[in-house]
Structure 1
């Protein structure tokens, strides 16, 4: 997650007194407005719970009113503080930090806590309508959807909720995966656009987990609907012969066989991103990026109009970062500060081991840079879980042993007839891998001798290694 505080506002409270509000952006989008005193309160709570030696430095109080320069200095210090807390593996995932952000999000959008109906979309366009509270966090909403669909608790962890924007051409853009620090109802309604919706989609990458999901009828239907949808939108490549086979299996209602055949097709399970810009292999190249199979796949259009394809394996990325910047956009005929506004420019950059002794930074300029980063992180997390002998199912079982899932009465009462029995007929920050992988052997997972791997300008690579550590690089 990319946290920033790019701006401040002077606002008035209920008593008419003015104060400075610090606008916290997450992934380039305004998440909440908070006062210095609120962040100071969070800081004091963190110190009390975790101790002074864990907490990053916090900007001190000032006796006198701050000058504009001092306000901007404090803004920068608070931004660094929020980034440091989020990047800390303990503090960043703590309920204390996440609940603070959820409460601040709700207060900023001025949405009271009340029962509402929320529509969650499935991959084939069907809707699941659930009764929730506006203050329900992402996990609560996901559990409510699972309850509505009769999806077993042990399979809930195989799916996630994604914020998606529908485009005018019939396509869709995956904006981000909803996180534990946000309230889905508030997140989608605050956008004030019918183009945005929340979609349920599988959240794992290893196709071996498909077997767990397909053992359950609802899980099978969800996975089948997603596979059909990905084929229809062109995310999965299908030739004429394969299309005939898939159509035959579809007509027979052979969903498992349909999915198993799809698993053999190119880009099965990938998420495709909107066209964007990269500096590899040359600056300014147009590229379509796909995430899946523990890699970022590139379809690059070179300046000479030649098309090339290659892939960057996550196990060969030393680290990556997401950066945002404010780009002035003219809003009138005169190019003055009063007639301009700023758009957020997002970039994902990763340091890649092109060959045994050569590292190179590759940059992607895309409004979906955060989503790409989330995909990379989840791939790394999944690899680590698998190499340590764990699995998604084991994680969910452990979670249930630690405490029962609490759903509100309204959530428990809402059920609908089974969905997805047939497809819709009307449709045709810097993350260092060295700290994560140095103690984990990735032999066999990091093999990179495919002709589609990228290394230098020839789009080939053949170097493999067991893990990445600072000493190795």
Structure 2
């Protein structure tokens, strides 16, 4: 499966240009930190609701992200007789349709939670069984209760990250898909748009697909492959141009999802193309590197398989113009390397480019430097880069370094989802930056991946050691508000330890006010970034 707090560094006052035994239960300690103080909230932002509020005590801990909602229901027919009808509840995870599940299966799931975690789960009870048939109003009331139950459940990371929960969520998706064949072929595109096809089961999870792919590509250390690369869903960048096939000539993916282990890539892709395809604009699966610092990349250039994978993506980024601008002399050297097929030297020349190793996302709107500012955005090189225009139409680039982002979150503003991060502008001065985008969850996952790399380097851990830490799960919080929580004229200061230890969530009493909640868990990405606590006056 696959959330969110971190930190960053700039100059001056402004941003610079597994298998486990069934009875194993992960023990997790939680405390609340870096959330808006309730008193401050009530005085300054009466419409500002904290829906989710937990952060880890251990700043080297990891968590996985998942946002769950049950927005509606559907009527399905029994497979056994093809006649009997029943109501299924549509589960959406991370903003995408996951599966339609009947009440009895969800009830069994809740009973499993009760058996395994009765002393830990605190939240609304799962709706009880009824002996009579429900009318539409009662069905909708049950749907709302199911949604609140799920949303409370995933706020307990020691529950949400248990392998049994991951397995059940995967099972819901597989059963809902109703596949006609157990064995399938799956096309996955490498960094240069070259297609590789693997044989797999419909029920294979993301981690299983990554292991199959690593073996086919010749990786001896499958774990290193899994933690240096990610399986993404993508589509063409021009929404007005139909994309029925992917070739190296047109391969310039706009990432839409980062696939996690609670889902089957085959089913997720098939479902996405059934439900979310517009005008022939199909989604496809692709492998992208999760290496955000050239020093990390330099350290694995002695492995020819890694070099080949990274080289493919680098060359394609160059051809797509994503590395521009490049000085003439350096570009000449890069072309010579391509002609000689000198992959290592080509990559080392790329390392000299400040534009190398970024994922370019969709243009969006931000409130920096002022509300409603159109901007282009990319994540990479351990920073977030926003490109806006000044009053004369000239491009202006703002860099927000990952080690100086104290916390980030996903907020719901009416029906709009936004990505926000709290940035250290100067000593003791924090400001929230809001991005209005449909890629909020993806942004959170990318930023977590950057934080994971920083933490890996900071702790000097081996891959195996880091994987063990990644099994310790935490969560983050999400907010819902009817207006932007940021006063553009005044930075918002987040006060620590605002919620009592006796109520880790601190918001359960307000459940009846919520229409929906979004929560987060993830697979192998840190909640907090140790680097933030190491900032000194010299960094400012």
TM-score range, shorter chain: 0.7 to 0.9
Deviation, structure 1 residue 355: 2.7
Residue 263 of structure 2 aligns with which residue? 182
Distance in structure 1 (CA, Å) of the matches to 2:406 and 2:141: 32
Residue 67 of structure 2 aligns with which residue? 2
Q: Which has the higher contact order (CA 8 A, sep 6+)?
A: 2
Deviation, structure 1 residue 86: 3.1
- The change in CA–CA distance for 1:67 and 1:274 in structure 2 (over 3 A counts) is same
Structure 2: tracts of 5 or more residues without a match: 1-65, 242-249, 471-517
Q: Deviations over 1:243-290 (max 9, x none)?
A: 111112222332111111111211321111011111221222111111
TM-score with structure 1 setting the length: 0.76
Residue 392 (structure 1) aligned to one of 430, 452, 463? 463
Contact preservation (8 Å) 1:346, 1:366 = yes
**What pairs up with 1:36-115 in 2 under 5 angstroms?**
36-54=103-121, 56-61=123-128, 63=130, 66=134, 68-112=136-180, 114-115=182-183
Deviation, structure 1 residue 223: 0.8
1:129 and 2:197 matched = yes
- The change in CA–CA distance for 1:167 and 1:314 in structure 2 (over 3 A counts) is closer
Distance in structure 1 (CA, Å) of the matches to 2:173 and 2:391: 44
Residue 311 of structure 1 aligns with which residue? 399
1:298 and 2:386 matched = yes
- The change in CA–CA distance for 1:231 and 1:111 in structure 2 (over 3 A counts) is same
Q: Deviations over 1:420-467 (max 9, x none)?
A: xxxxxxxxx5679xx9448x35466x5898xxxxxxxxxxxx63xxxx
Residue 295 (structure 2) aligned to one of 191, 208, 213? 208
Q: Deviations over 1:181-209 (max 9, x none)?
A: 11011111221457321111212323333
**What pairs up with 1:163-182 in 2 under 5 angstroms?**
163-168=233-238, 170=250, 171-182=252-263
- The change in CA–CA distance for 1:141 and 1:326 in structure 2 (over 3 A counts) is farther
**What pairs up with 1:410-449 in 2 under 5 angstroms?**
429=518, 436-437=527-528, 440=530, 442=532
- Which secondary structure state, in structure 2, belongs to the residue aligned with residue 315 of structure 1? coil
Identify the range of structure 1 (288-297 vs 32-41) with the bigger mean alpha-carbon deviation: 32-41
- The change in CA–CA distance for 1:86 and 1:239 in structure 2 (over 3 A counts) is farther
Identify the range of structure 1 (307-316 vs 73-82) with the bigger mean alpha-carbon deviation: 73-82
Residue 186 of structure 2 aligns with which residue? 118
Contact preservation (8 Å) 1:28, 1:324 = no
Residue 10 of structure 2 aligns with which residue? none
Residue 254 (structure 1) aligned to one of 342, 347, 355? 342
- The change in CA–CA distance for 1:152 and 1:397 in structure 2 (over 3 A counts) is farther
Deviation, structure 1 residue 118: 1.1
Q: Deviations over 1:16-52 (max 9, x none)?
A: 5544322111222211112333222112212322343
Q: Over the residues paired in the alignment, what is the CA RMSD in angstroms?
A: 3.0
Contact preservation (8 Å) 2:91, 2:101 = yes
Residue 333 of structure 2 aligns with which residue? 245
Residue 405 of structure 1 aligns with which residue? none
Residue 159 of structure 1 aligns with which residue? 229
Residue 413 of structure 1 aligns with which residue? none
Contact preservation (8 Å) 1:106, 1:186 = yes
- The change in CA–CA distance for 1:442 and 1:317 in structure 2 (over 3 A counts) is closer
Deviation, structure 1 residue 225: 0.8
Identify the range of structure 1 (252-261 vs 139-148) with the bigger mean alpha-carbon deviation: 252-261
- The change in CA–CA distance for 1:318 and 1:213 in structure 2 (over 3 A counts) is same
- Which secondary structure state, in structure 2, belongs to the residue aligned with residue 200 of structure 1? strand
Residue 321 (structure 2) aligned to one of 225, 234, 241? 234
1:197 and 2:292 matched = no
- The change in CA–CA distance for 1:17 and 1:114 in structure 2 (over 3 A counts) is closer
Residue 446 of structure 2 aligns with which residue? 375
Contact preservation (8 Å) 2:404, 2:532 = no
- Which secondary structure state, in structure 2, belongs to the residue aligned with residue 214 of structure 1? coil
Distance in structure 2 (CA, Å) of the matches to 1:301 and 1:365: 17
Identify the range of structure 1 (123-132 vs 229-238) with the bigger mean alpha-carbon deviation: 229-238
Q: Deviations over 1:372-421 (max 9, x none)?
A: 1111122223333332331436546999xxxxxxxxxxxxxxxxxxxxxx
